[in-house]
């Protein structure tokens, strides 16, 4: 029996164990690429994905204070936080396809399942690095703010694209180069190489977000840059604030005329 793409995406969200989730994500992306899944969306995505018992999920205000910069513990804490982001990003990519895929062409699934496979690979790299440093994913608490952004945009494809790739992932483009430099300065070239790989891939992810946001706006006869600001003001609780990596954002199609007025308002 041929599974639908919707069913396959849901299976990723319903998998709690981290290793099993990344394996399922890779399998779904591979099955789609090989034509084993029907381009059909006949199942509802869960509002909240399955989560492992660890890490403990805390509200952002209850997260432990950051360790002293430069310490081994601080580097491990940073890598753990990034691993959690990538773990949640797996669900974000597959939820995007399963929840909104019927609104777009097959190319939408092509792009976002590739993103989902990237996120699974990023998580695997970070989890392996944590183990090399004597830790593991789940050893520290984490917060679920990233999924909250998905939940608040669960009924609006354009809002999801505006907030998740074009605000949250774009922020990663701003801060990652400095983090890479910090790890290099601390003699941790292995971690720095992983973060540089993630940074390069995230430019492509933000580009996919911008591409499909603009496509959706054209179909709805909306002005993308204006409507993006409307959605950010409506759905994003935080602030879009500098410093901005204008070069990386521009490579992703997210030009300054999108975000500068929001940042200054």
d(CA 233, CA 187): 41
* Per-residue confidence (pLDDT) for residue 84, from 0 to 100: 97
* Per-residue confidence (pLDDT) for residue 29, from 0 to 100: 98
Closest CA to 97 of 85, 86, 111: 111
**Tokens 């890598």, residue?**
79
Closest CA to 11 of 121, 69, 94: 94
Residue 142 parent element (H or E): strand 142-143
Per-residue pLDDT of the chain (265 residues; tens, 9 = 90+): 568 999 999 999 999 999 999 999 999 999 999 999 999 998 999 999 999 999 998 877 767 766 555 688 999 999 999 999 999 999 999 999 999 999 999 999 999 999 999 999 999 999 999 999 999 999 999 988 889 999 999 999 999 999 999 999 999 999 999 999 999 999 999 999 999 999 999 999 999 999 999 999 999 999 999 999 999 999 998 889 999 999 999 999 999 999 987 875 4
Residues in the chain: 265
pTM over 0.85: yes
Closest CA to 105 of 192, 255, 219, 222: 219
Q: What angle do CA 128, 131, 133 make, to 5 degrees?
A: 115
* Per-residue confidence (pLDDT) for residue 145, from 0 to 100: 84
Cα dist. 74→64, 177, 192 in Å?
A: 12, 17, 14
Determine the angle formed by the axes of helices 72-100 and 170-185, rounding to 10 degrees.
160
Closest CA to 127 of 64, 199, 194: 194
């Amino acid at each position: 029996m041929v599974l639908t793409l919707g069913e396959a995406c849901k299976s990723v969200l319903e998998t709690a164990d981290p290793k099993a989730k990344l394996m399922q994500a890779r399998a779904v992306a591979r099955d789609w690429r090989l034509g084993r899944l029907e381009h059909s969306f006949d199942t509802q995505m869960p509002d909240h994905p399955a989560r492992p018992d660890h890490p403990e999920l805390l509200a952002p205000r209850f997260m432990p204070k950051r360790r002293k910069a430069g310490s081994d513990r601080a580097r491990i804490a940073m890598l753990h936080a990034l691993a959690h982001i990538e773990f949640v990003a797996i669900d974000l990519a597959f939820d995007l396809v399963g929840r909104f895929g019927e609104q777009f062409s097959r190319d939408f699934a092509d792009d976002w399942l590739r993103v989902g496979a990237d996120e699974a690979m990023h998580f695997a790299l970070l989890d392996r690095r944590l183990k090399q440093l004597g830790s593991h994913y789940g050893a520290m608490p984490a917060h679920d703010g990233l999924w909250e952004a998905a939940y608040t945009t669960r009924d609006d494809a354009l809002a999801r694209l505006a907030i998740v790739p074009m605000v949250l992932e774009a922020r990663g483009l701003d801060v990652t180069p400095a983090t890479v430099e910090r790890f290099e300065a601390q003699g941790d070239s292995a971690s720095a190489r992983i973060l540089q790989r993630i940074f390069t891939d995230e430019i492509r992810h933000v580009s996919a977000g911008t591409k499909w946001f603009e496509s959706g706006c054209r179909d709805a006869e909306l002005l993308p840059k204006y409507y993006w600001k409307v959605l950010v003001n409506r759905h994003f609780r935080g602030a879009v604030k500098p410093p901005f990596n204008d070069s990386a954002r521009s490579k992703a199609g997210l030009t300054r005329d999108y975000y500068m007025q929001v940042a200054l308002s």
